[in-house]
Each structure stands twice: as structure tokens, then as C-alpha cells.
Amino acid sequence: MLVGGKNECIACTIDNCTYHAKSEDYCTLEKIQVGTHEQNPTKKECTDCESFKNQA
């Protein structure tokens, strides 16, 4: 649910992302895409937020 520009269902600590809520550790997108850079991911380090966009 989006509340005040943040999605309380998506916690996020990546504050250099364009979609970070800045004042709180949440994402501002309604949904995110999670993917992997591995053929057979076996741990969380193998996953990626594919919605990440570096703020300029």
C-alpha cells in the first residue's frame, strides 16, 4: 500500500536508488521486479532488484 509516497509493503535500504522514499527505508514503486544474475540461485546474494535505478 502506498502511504505518503512510500510503499509500506516494500522495505528498502538502498538510498541511492531513484525510487527510495529518502526519509524512510521504503520503496516508492507500487511493485518491483526481482531477478537473478545466476543460472541456479541458491542464496539471497544471487538475487537482484531489477527495478533499481541509480539516482543521478
Write the DSSP symbol of residue 15: T
State the Cα–Cα distance between residues 38 and 24, nearest whole angstrom. Answer: 31
Name the one residue in this structure whose C-alpha cell is 540461485.
Answer: 41
Determine the Cα–Cα distance for residues 48 and 1; give it in Å rounded to an integer.
22
In the block, cell 509493503 appears at 9
Give the pLDDT score at 2: 79
Per-residue pLDDT, 56: 77
pLDDT in 10s for each residue of the chain, 56 residues: 777 799 999 999 999 999 999 999 999 999 999 999 999 999 999 999 999 999 97
pTM of the model: 0.85
Rounded Cα distance between 23 and 20, Å, is 9
Predicted local confidence at residue 29, as pLDDT: 97
